[in-house]
Structure 1
Amino acid sequence: MKTLELLLSQNRPLVMGILNTTPDSFSDGGKFLKQGDAIKQIERMLKCGADIIDIGGESTRPGAAEVPEQEEIERVMPLVEAANKMGAVVSVDTSKASVMKEALAQGVELINDVRALQEEGAIEVVANSRAHVCLMHMQGSPRTMQQNPTYEDVTNEVKDMLRQRIAVCTKHGIEAKRIIIDPGFGFGKTLQHNCQLMHLLDELKELECPILVGVSRKRMIGDILDREVDDRIIGSVVAAAYAAQKGAKILRVHDVDETVQAIKIVQAFEKQ
């Protein structure tokens, strides 16, 4: 049986398939609100080679509305159950302690938190489990983060914040081996910030945690290519492959099949 710990020990990047069961996510909002459609998407992503399925019930795009806890639970938990039955390694994308608790009770192996366990009760819930956690850097909040993001040195500031959160988590009993880090592309960052951060992504290796990168179909891809959301697949796949070359261990993507193919090609060349 696959586990996240076993996957992380493999000498290759992992592909995390995104499943947003939301009406307002920037790329696939509304597509998978119906359980049947969402379950079929999980099946498709697993068939295409997704290592992890990341299920989210609240959009974190700029300006997105907050979702009540119970509504988020009702959106996410049936899909967690379905993915578990398919043998998937499941991640839940949430910042709410109550949602985390429900997900962990269902055997979820990864909590993917854009707020890096800073919400009330979140760090205690994860500490009392055996699950991994992904700590993401964000300047501001999803509602306001893109209004005027500023840094003196974005890479060092991202690194410093993640280092601080790792220290807090380990102090609360979350072993370092359970922590994954995400620099948070597009979360309180301009295009220039994002590009600099990607160029220097390998500097995050000094934190000694697996690196997760999520740039799939994001505005930074659209700005570079002058393309709308539905026409950003090639740019997203190239960015994911570049991130893998710079040390990313987990690639969080919408386009699983295309990303898996790209990584297989890169891996074949690297083995020579």
Structure 2
Amino acid sequence: MPTPERTKIMGVLNVTPDSFSDGGRYFDHDAAIAHGLELLAAGADIIDVGGESTRPGSVRVDEAEELRRVVPVIRELAAAGAVISVDTMRAKVAVASLDVGAHIINDVSAGLSDPTMLTVASEMAAPVVLMHWRGYLDRASASFHYDDVVAEVIAELKTRIDEAIAVGVEPGNIILDPGLGFSKNAEHNWQILAALDEFANLDHRLLVAASRKRFISTLLSPEDPKLAEESAKDQATAAISALSAKAGAWAVRVHEPTTSAIAAKVIAAVATHDTQAEAPEPEGQA
């Protein structure tokens, strides 16, 4: 039987002063490049480089500043052999990043923030992550109301898939992200995680990005989520990585790759030895 492909590990590299988890740590280009190499050494298969925070209440940076933050870092890491995704909502930033060696566009707005993004993905034949998005998190339009969060997120993702294909994006280049933490409360996030099989069955690669998000902190420290230890959040993230890998996710996006890489390897090893689906039916049973 074929060996199941191991879920990939996408390491987070925020070249920002204000990201929710590690803002400011890697804002300097040299520090960012060094951390990118550390992520690779720790088990990351892909480095996701972003120059703009998407945390609730964050203020957008201008395009020139976003380019200044990410392009030199992507250039150096790509030269070192890293597979890079660029975390951006701007088509011009995506183009500049692909030009210096990025491979994947990771757009948390799924092309809604910049209407030319999907055309860029098509013209440059780049894989593109389409995340479920209901608007910027500092705006009331980023609605948290759902009657059926799983069904509605899937339906809204299908609309973005159709739009991408309509402008020429190859279906095989579409990667879906259910958008944990974006216009969703903790209950919504857990419901989505419980239904990952449904997202994995949408005929496109699935990316799960839960790392260190507030709903994890709330689980670990209900009285005051800010008191949740980073190491504990990473352990919880690794558990979610295992669940994602078991569901068939293509990749998980994490801040700390080591434990999630181990989790993905374990799930892949178990899947390799799972003979249940191929086992012959016992004689005498219908």
Task: Report the TM-score range of the alignment, normalised by the length of the smaller protein.
Answer: over 0.9
**Residue number in structure 1 paired with 2:269:** 268
**Residue number in structure 1 paired with 2:153:** 158
**Residue number in structure 1 paired with 2:173:** 178
Counterpart residue identity of residue 5, structure 2: N
- Among 10, 18, 43, the residue aligned to 2:12: 18
**CA contact under 8 A between 2:177 and 2:208: conserved in structure 1?**
yes
**CA contact under 8 A between 1:138 and 1:145: conserved in structure 2?**
no
CA distance, structure 2, for counterparts of residue 173 and residue 148 of structure 1: 29
CA distance, structure 1, for counterparts of residue 172 and residue 101 of structure 2: 18
Deviations 1:150-188 (A, max 9, x none): 101000111011111111111101110110000000000
Quote the RMSD (CA, aligned, Å).
1.7
**Residue number in structure 2 paired with 1:235:** 236
Deviations 1:43-73 (A, max 9, x none): 1111122110000000001110101000000
Moved more, 88-97 or 145-154: 145-154
Residues 1:258 and 2:259 aligned together: yes
**CA contact under 8 A between 2:109 and 2:135: conserved in structure 1?**
no
**CA contact under 8 A between 1:62 and 1:145: conserved in structure 2?**
no
- Among 49, 55, 58, the residue aligned to 1:61: 55
**CA contact under 8 A between 2:14 and 2:51: conserved in structure 1?**
yes
Which stretches in structure 1 are left out of the alignment for 5+ residues? 1-8
**Residue number in structure 2 paired with 1:219:** 214
CA drift of 1:114 comes to 0.5
- Among 57, 78, 83, the residue aligned to 1:84: 78
Residues 1:39 and 2:33 aligned together: yes
**CA contact under 8 A between 1:146 and 1:187: conserved in structure 2?**
no
- Among 149, 157, 167, the residue aligned to 2:144: 149
CA distance, structure 2, for counterparts of residue 80 and residue 58 of structure 1: 14
Seen in structure 2, the aligned counterparts of structure 1 residues 145 and 21 have a Cα distance that, compared at 3 Å, is farther
Q: Report the secondary structure of 1:207's partner residue.
A: coil
**Residue number in structure 2 paired with 1:4:** none
Which stretches in structure 2 are left out of the alignment for 5+ residues? 222-226, 274-286
CA drift of 1:122 comes to 1.4
**Residue number in structure 2 paired with 1:117:** 111
CA distance, structure 2, for counterparts of residue 146 and residue 229 of structure 1: 32
Seen in structure 2, the aligned counterparts of structure 1 residues 159 and 53 have a Cα distance that, compared at 3 Å, is same
CA distance, structure 2, for counterparts of residue 22 and residue 149 of structure 1: 26
Counterpart residue identity of residue 264, structure 2: I
- Among 194, 197, 200, the residue aligned to 1:202: 197
CA distance, structure 2, for counterparts of residue 59 and residue 165 of structure 1: 22
Seen in structure 2, the aligned counterparts of structure 1 residues 146 and 18 have a Cα distance that, compared at 3 Å, is farther
Counterpart residue identity of residue 219, structure 1: R
- Among 57, 68, 72, the residue aligned to 1:74: 68
Deviations 1:106-165 (A, max 9, x none): 232100000001213212222210210000002232323797611010001110111111
**CA contact under 8 A between 2:47 and 2:85: conserved in structure 1?**
yes
Q: Report the secondary structure of 2:49's partner residue.
A: strand
Counterpart residue identity of residue 186, structure 2: L
CA distance, structure 1, for counterparts of residue 149 and residue 138 of structure 2: 20
CA drift of 1:213 comes to 0.3
Larger C-alpha radius of gyration, 1 or 2? 2
Seen in structure 2, the aligned counterparts of structure 1 residues 229 and 122 have a Cα distance that, compared at 3 Å, is farther
**Residue number in structure 1 paired with 2:182:** 187
**CA contact under 8 A between 2:216 and 2:233: conserved in structure 1?**
yes
CA distance, structure 1, for counterparts of residue 131 and residue 98 of structure 2: 19
**CA contact under 8 A between 1:138 and 1:187: conserved in structure 2?**
yes
**CA contact under 8 A between 1:13 and 1:250: conserved in structure 2?**
yes
Counterpart residue identity of residue 105, structure 1: D
Seen in structure 2, the aligned counterparts of structure 1 residues 144 and 30 have a Cα distance that, compared at 3 Å, is same
Counterpart residue identity of residue 271, structure 1: T
CA distance, structure 2, for counterparts of residue 43 and residue 29 of structure 1: 18
CA drift of 1:228 comes to 2.5
**CA contact under 8 A between 2:200 and 2:247: conserved in structure 1?**
no
**Residue number in structure 2 paired with 1:140:** 135
